[in-house]
Amino acid sequence: MNVEELSGLPPGALEHFRDEGIEELYPPQAEAVEAGILEGDSLVAAVPTASGKTMIAALSMLSAVQRGGKALYIVPLRALASEKKAEFDAYEEFGVTTGVTTGNYESTDEWLATKDLIVATSEKVDSLVRNGADWLSDLTCVVSDEVHLIDDRNRGPTLEVTLAKLRELNPGLQTVALSATVGNADEIADWLEADLVDTDWRPIDLQMGVHYGNALEFHDGSTREVPVEGSEKQEAALVRDILQEGGSSLVFVSSRRNAEAAARRLSQVSSRELTDEERSKLSELADDIRNVSDTETSKDLADCVERGAAFHHAGLASEHRTLVEDAFRDRLLKMISATPTLAAGVNTPARRVIVRDWRRFDPTAGGMSPLDVLEVHQMMGRAGRPGLDPYGEAVLLANSHDEREELFERYVWGEPEPVRSKLAAEPALRTHVLATIASGFARTREGLLEFMQATLYASQSTEGSRLESVTDDVLEYLESNDFIEREGGASTAGSTETDQTVEAATDAFVSASELTEDSDAGSDGAQAADSAAVDLTATSLGHTVSRLYLDPMTAAEIVHGLESADDRPTALGLYQLISRTPDMYELYLRSGEDETFGELFYEREPELLGDAPSEYEDARFEDWLASLKTGKLLEDWADEQDEDRLTDEYKIGPGDLRGKVDTAEWLLGAAESLANEIGSEWTVAVREARARVEHGVREELLELVSVRGVGRKRARQLYDVGIEGPADLRTADKGVVLAVLKGEKTAANILENAGREDPSMDGVEPRTDLEGVEVRTDRGGSRATTDGNGGTDEPDDDQASLGDF
């Protein structure tokens, strides 16, 4: 089908596609058009990566906009949101505007309401639904990218529930779900009442094979000699082999450490094939990487990059990841070894994909378990760059004849697993049941269960009673924690007639009045006739929790923690409190650390909020210590310890540290709202702890870091020469300021931001003798002889007790 034949798109769109070099639709795209996506029909497209899914989405959304509608594109990752936004921005050319909204991007409702296309993460959409964003009811088309993630235990239910809610909110909503090829795309299509396009077609050929010994054997029977020389590893031979043809490679491994080790080893291979120009560009890139953060990880990565290779995993800071991904796409980096992050993330195609480790450690399985076929297919799908490579190659590594057979069976010829809803898991239900009640999607237990009928879970489960009983458990939990109230009927399922008659006497009036109200809730109408209906309402606290996007269990923990505090909670107390909630991804204890943190526990026990589990309850006590470890990490960060030191001491990557800090910021912000809600007297303590973790500073620097351009390091240096806040910056000796801040521009900017009237640094000489000014000596005077950052790296914690008297 030719692009010219498409109708119903905004004027100028066809021209745009032509300019992009798109003339003929790929067969799956043509099928999608025939299925009616241009007329607003729903569709599930289960097609391989890089076979034009985005075009299917674009056609659906643009035709919806042309009909006067508005479209939403749901992505699983923030990084993908920006990637898609950049892609859709090109439509501005013909007047179609795009907005993004994710947790850390700006987003005002009014602003989004004016956009034609909106890109958002599934959690953000869920949050928008909970907060009742008006423009949601204007949507006429929703695209859900990577919809197979519904299978994900943690985040799948959010996507599932969100899609169900959007569809209930907007009857007739065009739903376009894009999925990897999965075992049961037809079930998803049934659920969404959509047509199905299910195909293995790819624009460039994908050769799948297994390397064993000195030979690479492909699924079509062809083979290729790839001899392993000397003591080199299989992957080294494969990387070298394809590099000599000018192709890049992507090696998937099972752990971060493996990724780093492989990159180090393989950089010896890539290093041999670099031109001088590439070398100099790579060395610039390496400098950029070192500048991102002053940590071991950063240095190791830079060292590899200089030689044309890189590793990629979640321990990297996001800037690291972006730099590496971009350089790889620009063909500057020849090889990346990665954990599965890369398979699900932004588009980073390579000529040859090597899936080295196909087993992964899984403690729940008691050891190593094979990767899902779906997952391996996602990795293999990264092979082949459209327009650049004649074909892509995906290679698995075997070290025995038997393993080679197994790999062919399992991954080359094997079918991917079906997608299974994980909604019935209690943690997921806790959150979504509360949200469903709080945002008015269900007002009775029966209405709630009926809403659940609209989920994939219901369409897949054979015994509906499971969902019902878990739902009742969850309702029980929510009620006992004061998030919801239940009235009328009986409090649990399976109640008898006699129970009801007793209750009915007192609740008859309430039920009758609810009857009329229910009629505008639509779906509840049928149940309302049943006098035994249990009315569900969210309490004020429940509403807050739902809007804050907290797991109810997190909220309960925080509320209890704050209520149990007799004295003003310390920062550590609050940090440990949020670290033990399910919304904080825990650092686990390494061997030997149970002792270290056991000691810390006895030392700081009075600061911790709530009751510690008994030491004899092994598992729970371990968890408690693990959250103490996370809390201590946050305290150290807020005590101005160097990033380098923290990543080293806690054996985490810079990305992990930032992730923890980020989460802590979010949870403490939420904790402040909760403190307000329950009338706790500790809101100020919470706010201060949050501010400290946000900027990574001690209390005395909080004023300084509020000045734009001043972060934790500059603030400390200013403080050490006696400048304690914006007011001091306005009156301070410019020579002193300049001596501390180095650059004239920086100094002038900061003075301006502090509100100084004459910020200019023209003609100001940095003071070399800081004798004449008030120098802080109470924290160890050596700091004042500042000549950079060397020398004064002595741990600050020794002074912690001196600092706050």
Distance CA 61, CA 72 (A): 8
Distance CA 693, CA 215 (A): 54
How many positions of this chain bind DNA (CB under 7 A)? 77
Distance CA 320, CA 501 (A): 65
Nearest to 445 by CA among 402, 403, 404, 484: 484
626, containing H or E segment? helix 618-638
- Choose between 508 and 684: whose C-beta lies nearer to DNA: 684
Stretch that binds DNA, among 33-41, 98-106, 168-176, 443-451 (CB under 7 A): 98-106
Among 53, 307, 486, 714, binds DNA (CB under 7 A): 714
C-alpha angle 172-174-177 in degrees, rounded to nearest 5: 135
Q: Decide: 729 and 737 in contact? Cβ < 8 Å.
A: yes
Enter the tokens of residue 192.
């969404």
Query: What is the smallest separation between the CB atom of 236 and DNA, expressed in angstroms?
Result: 12
C-alpha angle 91-92-96 in degrees, rounded to nearest 5: 75
- Choose between 364 and 801: whose C-beta lies nearer to DNA: 364
The residue assigned the tokens 């009156």 is: 731
Q: Decide: 430 and 553 in contact? Cβ < 8 Å.
A: yes
The residue assigned the tokens 């480790």 is: 357
Stretch that binds DNA, among 110-118, 360-368, 529-537, 558-566 (CB under 7 A): 360-368
Distance CA 32, CA 37 (A): 6
Distance CA 340, CA 335 (A): 15
Stretch that binds DNA, among 363-371, 379-387, 625-633, 794-802 (CB under 7 A): 363-371
Among 40, 41, 155, 766, binds DNA (CB under 7 A): 155
Distance CA 358, CA 411 (A): 10
- Choose between 196 and 754: whose C-beta lies nearer to DNA: 754
Nearest to 13 by CA among 45, 52, 53, 61: 61
Chain positions 110 to 129 lying near DNA, rule: CB under 7 A, are 121, 123-124, 127
DSSP 92: G
Stretch that binds DNA, among 166-174, 383-391, 710-718, 765-773 (CB under 7 A): 710-718
Residues 619-638 as x/- pattern, contact with DNA by CB under 7 A = --------------------
427, containing H or E segment? helix 426-438
Chain positions 464 to 503 lying near DNA, rule: CB under 7 A, are none
Query: What is the smallest separation between the CB atom of 372 and DNA, expressed in angstroms?
Result: 9
Stretch that binds DNA, among 260-268, 269-277, 347-355, 641-649 (CB under 7 A): 260-268
Query: What is the smallest separation between the CB atom of 87 and DNA, expressed in angstroms?
Result: 18
The residue assigned the tokens 């640094």 is: 761
Stretch that binds DNA, among 43-51, 357-365, 471-479, 608-616 (CB under 7 A): 357-365
DSSP 396: E
Query: What is the smallest separation between the CB atom of 720 and DNA, expressed in angstroms?
Result: 14
Stretch that binds DNA, among 151-159, 562-570, 619-627, 773-781 (CB under 7 A): 151-159
Query: What is the smallest separation between the CB atom of 5 and DNA, expressed in angstroms?
Result: 38
Q: Is 367 in the site for DNA (CB under 7 A)?
A: yes
Among 413, 540, 585, 782, binds DNA (CB under 7 A): 585
Query: What is the smallest separation between the CB atom of 764 and DNA, expressed in angstroms?
Result: 19
Distance CA 237, CA 335 (A): 13
CB atoms within 10 A of CB 365: 10
Q: Is 300 in the site for DNA (CB under 7 A)?
A: no
Q: Is 79 in the site for DNA (CB under 7 A)?
A: yes
Among 6, 548, 608, 784, binds DNA (CB under 7 A): 548
Distance CA 443, CA 486 (A): 10
Residue 268 in marked binding region: no
Distance CA 140, CA 630 (A): 44
- Choose between 77 and 208: whose C-beta lies nearer to DNA: 77
Among 5, 23, 257, 530, binds DNA (CB under 7 A): 257
Q: Is 549 in the site for DNA (CB under 7 A)?
A: yes
Chain positions 655 to 694 lying near DNA, rule: CB under 7 A, are 656, 659, 662-663, 665-666, 669-670, 672-673
What's CA 223's distance to the chain center, in Å? 40
Q: Is 541 in the site for DNA (CB under 7 A)?
A: no
Query: What is the smallest separation between the CB atom of 365 and DNA, expressed in angstroms?
Result: 4
Stretch that binds DNA, among 102-110, 212-220, 282-290, 487-495 (CB under 7 A): 102-110
Query: What is the smallest separation between the CB atom of 259 and DNA, expressed in angstroms?
Result: 8
**Phi and psi angles of residue 383, each rounded to the nearest 5 degrees, phi first:** -85, 135
Distance CA 690, CA 671 (A): 9
Enter the tokens of residue 470.
């878990």
Among 272, 466, 713, 745, binds DNA (CB under 7 A): 713
Chain positions 162 to 201 lying near DNA, rule: CB under 7 A, are none
CB atoms within 10 A of CB 14: 17
Among 547, 560, 645, 776, binds DNA (CB under 7 A): 547
48, 347, 354, 412 from 208: Cα distances, Å: 14, 19, 10, 7
Enter the tokens of residue 584.
């904080």
Q: Is 36 exposed, middle or buried (0-12, 13-18, 19+ CB in 10 A)?
A: middle
Query: What is the smallest separation between the CB atom of 494 and DNA, expressed in angstroms?
Result: 34
Residues 391-430 as x/- pattern, contact with DNA by CB under 7 A = --------x-------------------------------
Q: Decide: 739 and 768 in contact? Cβ < 8 Å.
A: yes
Query: What is the smallest separation between the CB atom of 47 and DNA, expressed in angstroms?
Result: 22
- Choose between 140 and 339: whose C-beta lies nearer to DNA: 339
Distance CA 312, CA 324 (A): 8
Residues 320-349 as x/- pattern, contact with DNA by CB under 7 A = -------------------xxx--xx----
Distance CA 546, CA 544 (A): 5
**Amino acid (one-letter) located at 772:** G
- Choose between 25 and 335: whose C-beta lies nearer to DNA: 335
What end-to-end distance do the CA atoms of the chain give, in Å?
A: 77
DSSP 784: G
Query: What is the smallest separation between the CB atom of 302 and DNA, expressed in angstroms?
Result: 16
Distance CA 805, CA 521 (A): 59
Nearest to 787 by CA among 740, 746, 750: 740
Among 32, 139, 141, 262, binds DNA (CB under 7 A): 262
Q: Is 106 in the site for DNA (CB under 7 A)?
A: yes
Packed helices 276-292 and 296-306: angle between N→C axes, nearest 10 degrees: 170
Q: Is 710 in the site for DNA (CB under 7 A)?
A: yes
Among 114, 154, 540, 564, binds DNA (CB under 7 A): 154
Query: What is the smallest separation between the CB atom of 261 and DNA, expressed in angstroms?
Result: 2
- Choose between 203 and 370: whose C-beta lies nearer to DNA: 370
Q: Is 68 in the site for DNA (CB under 7 A)?
A: no
**Phi and psi angles of residue 597, each rounded to the nearest 5 degrees, phi first:** -80, -20
Q: Is 365 in the site for DNA (CB under 7 A)?
A: yes
Query: What is the smallest separation between the CB atom of 268 and DNA, expressed in angstroms?
Result: 13
- Choose between 477 and 549: whose C-beta lies nearer to DNA: 549
Stretch that binds DNA, among 50-58, 491-499, 511-519, 703-711 (CB under 7 A): 703-711
Q: Is 144 in the site for DNA (CB under 7 A)?
A: no
Extract the annotated binding site for ATP.
29
